[in-house]
Chain A
Amino acid sequence: MEQVIANGLFTGAQYALIALGLTLIFGLMNVLNFAHGQMFVLGALFAYTIFNHIVELGWFLGMTPWLANILTFMVALVATLVFLAFVGALFERFLFRTVIKRSSRDESTMLLAAATAFLLDALLPMKHVFGELSHSLPALIEGSFSIEQPWFSDTPFYMPYSKVFIGGLALFLIAGFMAFMQYTKPGRAMRALAQDKIAAQLMGVHVDRFTMLGFALGAMLAGGIGALIVTITNIGPTAGSSFSIKAFIMVMIGGAGVVGGAIAGGFVLGMMESIVPTLLAPYDLANLSDLIIFAALMIFLSFRPQGLMGKPWG
């Protein structure tokens, strides 16, 4: 049982980060960013490439392997965050902003978002970009943390140190993002924009600038979590759209455009994905768990569309 809960929390922390970026973009611009999962994959593969290019430098300097791994990974993570923020800012400035201003309906941006998703889906597996193979980094830290006799179950509890490290980093990123939104001036400006665009504009918030910042931050979070997850599992260049769908679901569970809701949604989905198969396993129904989760969410959303914390009709 502890194992199931720990896995759920771990997955939940990752999911929460993905959902945070998506909900930020949605709250600020009313854009359903279909390319969010592709941003995540871009981040993962970018971090993988950077890591492999510079990891030998650490060995060369005579560091112990785990220290070299961790330092290199931190460098790769920071590089990924910067790169993805840059990509996000470019997308907003040159694609979304222009189309939003020219089109007569807000929803037209859906077409643009889908087109950018197609573009990334096409570009990422190309030979000179990342290639068609899926990649993952080796475990950053060897060894694992284990309890032979946990309190509530018979099987031993087991958690690799690298998972603990990655989970900690994810929590740190979430906390950092929340603190940024809560206590800094740009964060306050973005919250104001998400609440009421016109009012924020009248109070002197520079809409274009902060929208761009928001999009960049959203892309950055997606890329950052990609960099974290690539150390745990394989990520292929075309995995993006399935992550996009999951991210949409998490955002809807929590409530569209609400930062707290996205975190809650991420943890709820992470826990469900961990607990439901375990509960169904004794009845030999474990392969139905996805269906049950999705169907339950659909029923939940039909009766409470604003999710856990959203405002009705966003």
Chain B
Amino acid sequence: MKVKPHTESGLKTWVGLAALVLAMGLFYFGIPALIAQNPEVYSRYYTTLSGIALLSMASAGVWLTFYIGRINIGQGVFCLFGAYISGILVVNYGMNFWYSAIWAGVICSLLSFLIGLPILRLRGVYFAMVTLISTQVATLVVQNLAITKQGRSFALPPPAALTLPGTDIVVIPAFTLEGAAVGFYFAAITLMILTFLGLYRLVNSRIGQLCKSLQQNEELASSLGVNIVWLRLVAYAISCFVGGVAGAFYGAQQANLNVSLFTVQDSVNFLLYCFMGGLNYVVGPLIGTITLRLGWDQLSPTGEYQLAIYALALIILMFILPNGLMSLVEEGKKWFIRPNHRQKLQSMSAQKPVKTVAKSAAKKRPKTAAKTAPKSNKGRK
């Protein structure tokens, strides 16, 4: 299928690549260099940041289900199961952690086929609620199984070395207790970057376009020959795979599993990270997770006021940027990247000022219409 070339796509690609290189430089070299400045004080950021990287992976899964038009409050299920599957494989069956994490993802995506087949038919609030209940079910399952030790403390050893199969060549050295934080940091950011690159590739592929068609109108997509059942199952399975792997790593990083590792609250949090970042951009969940988690972490000296300040900040952000942090990019584009477009807007508003006012007045918002119309004209001059 030929796509009409977009005028700014060249620029977009370069900006994207530059951002990727910058981000990788920051994560792989910048942050370790910063922490090396004062290791006693800053080394705790390795743990914080690897947690953020893993949670942003799980949020990326939630974002993908948003992309097919479903509100997913059930990612906690797969994170929790992923953590326990990996933990059980390592502790009870002596599997290497790195393989067990992959198995956690695979089993989670198989499970998601089973759950997804009935529940993916639901939409909107119905899907949201069933997934919310599923998180509660997962918590109760873990609490009632003997193999998970009733959800009480389940200690994990640090990951063993990963060698190439059949040889003694060490790919990833074994984690020591002291070095585990640094090791997990590099593992987590690598996984995070791979996840978001994969997600970007997926969204900009043919399958991504089809997923977007599901978001817009499932019946129409189906009538045009899109296999909607298969497509949403695949999207959900990918989302759950990512969640399972993230959960496995998160659990291993904590070195101790318990049932409160991922609760309903965490499932809701993943959703909030996506909203906070913005649902129109692949990096939205990453930006949202970094902002909210790092913000939460920085507020910890405030003690008992931590949650109150966090909640107030959320409410204020909601007022300023109700469409997420990435909506700033849209604003930025309007004023900085596309001067031609700005001129076009200016000439348009100069020609038909009456129409804009009439249009917004028709929305039965006389107050806001009167306010915004002159303001926007002023801005455009």
Chain A residues proximal to chain B, CB less than 8 Å: 26, 30, 32, 34, 95, 98-99, 101-105, 107-108, 110-112, 114-116, 118-119, 121-123, 126, 201, 241, 245, 248-249, 251-252, 256, 287-288, 290-291, 294-295, 297-299, 301-303, 305-306, 313-314
Q: Are A301 and B133 neighbours in the complex by a CB distance under 8 Å?
A: yes
Q: Are B304 and A102 neighbours in the complex by a CB distance under 8 Å?
A: no
Interface residues of B in 225-264 (CB under 8 A from A): 264
Neighbouring B residues of A299 by C-beta, 8 Å = 118
A314 in complex: contacting residue of B125, B276, B323, CB < 8 Å = B125
Q: Are A107 and B272 neighbours in the complex by a CB distance under 8 Å?
A: no
Neighbouring A residues of B133 by C-beta, 8 Å = 245, 248-249, 252, 294, 297-298, 301
Name 30 A/B residue pairs within 8 A (Cβ), A-sorted. Answer: A30-B125, A95-B315, A101-B365, A102-B322, A105-B279, A105-B323, A108-B318, A108-B322, A110-B271, A111-B275, A111-B276, A112-B318, A118-B307, A118-B311, A118-B314, A119-B312, A119-B315, A121-B311, A126-B308, A248-B129, A252-B130, A252-B133, A256-B129, A291-B140, A294-B136, A299-B118, A301-B122, A301-B130, A301-B133, A302-B119
The minimal Cβ–Cβ distance linking A139 to chain B, given in whole angstroms, is: 32
- In the bound complex, CA of A300 to CA of B244 (Å): 26
B130 in complex: contacting residue of A108, A114, A298, A314, CB < 8 Å = A298
Residue from B136, B275, B306, B364 whose CB has the most chain A CB atoms within 10 Å: B136
Neighbouring B residues of A313 by C-beta, 8 Å = 123-124, 126
Q: Are B268 and A32 neighbours in the complex by a CB distance under 8 Å?
A: no
Residue from B140, B271, B312 whose CB has the most chain A CB atoms within 10 Å: B140
Q: Are B140 and A290 neighbours in the complex by a CB distance under 8 Å?
A: yes
Besides A108-B275, A115-B315, 14 more A-B contacts (Cβ < 8 Å) are A99-B319, A105-B279, A110-B272, A111-B318, A112-B314, A114-B314, A119-B311, A121-B311, A122-B308, A249-B133, A252-B129, A297-B133, A298-B130, A305-B126
Neighbouring B residues of A111 by C-beta, 8 Å = 271-272, 275-276, 314, 318
- In the bound complex, CA of A197 to CA of B142 (Å): 43
- In the bound complex, CA of A251 to CA of B143 (Å): 26
Residue of B nearest to A123 (CB): B308
Q: Are B311 and A305 neighbours in the complex by a CB distance under 8 Å?
A: no
Q: 7 closest A-B pairs (Cβ-Cβ)? A: A103-B322, A122-B307, A119-B311, A118-B311, A115-B314, A122-B308, A302-B118
Neighbouring B residues of A102 by C-beta, 8 Å = 319, 322
The minimal Cβ–Cβ distance linking B365 to chain A, given in whole angstroms, is: 7
Q: Are B136 and A245 neighbours in the complex by a CB distance under 8 Å?
A: yes
The minimal Cβ–Cβ distance linking B182 to chain A, given in whole angstroms, is: 32
Neighbouring B residues of A119 by C-beta, 8 Å = 307-308, 311-312, 315
Neighbouring A residues of B275 by C-beta, 8 Å = 107-108, 110-111
Neighbouring A residues of B318 by C-beta, 8 Å = 99, 108, 111-112, 115
- In the bound complex, CA of A291 to CA of B275 (Å): 30
What number of B residues sit within 8 Å (CB to CB) of A? Answer: 46
- In the bound complex, CA of A306 to CA of B129 (Å): 11
Neighbouring A residues of B175 by C-beta, 8 Å = none
Q: Are B315 and A116 neighbours in the complex by a CB distance under 8 Å?
A: yes
Q: Given that A108-B322, A313-B124, A314-B125 are contacting pairs, would A287 and B144 also be in contact in the complex, using a CB cutoff of 8 Å?
A: yes
Determine chain A's interface SS by DSSP, over half rule.
helix
Q: Are B122 and A302 neighbours in the complex by a CB distance under 8 Å?
A: yes
Neighbouring A residues of B57 by C-beta, 8 Å = none
Neighbouring A residues of B271 by C-beta, 8 Å = 110-111, 114
Q: Given that A112-B315, A248-B132, A298-B130 are contacting pairs, would A314 and B124 also be in contact in the complex, using a CB cutoff of 8 Å?
A: yes
- In the bound complex, CA of A34 to CA of B123 (Å): 19
- In the bound complex, CA of A92 to CA of B122 (Å): 29
B310 interface contact, C-beta 8 A: yes
A101 in complex: contacting residue of B119, B307, B368, CB < 8 Å = B368
The minimal Cβ–Cβ distance linking A142 to chain B, given in whole angstroms, is: 38
Neighbouring A residues of B279 by C-beta, 8 Å = 105
Q: Are A295 and B307 neighbours in the complex by a CB distance under 8 Å?
A: no
Q: Given that A118-B307, A119-B315, A248-B132 are contacting pairs, would A305 and B122 also be in contact in the complex, using a CB cutoff of 8 Å?
A: yes
Q: Are B137 and A32 neighbours in the complex by a CB distance under 8 Å?
A: no
Q: Given that A201-B364, A288-B144, A295-B137 are contacting pairs, would A103 and B128 also be in contact in the complex, using a CB cutoff of 8 Å?
A: no
- In the bound complex, CA of A196 to CA of B185 (Å): 52
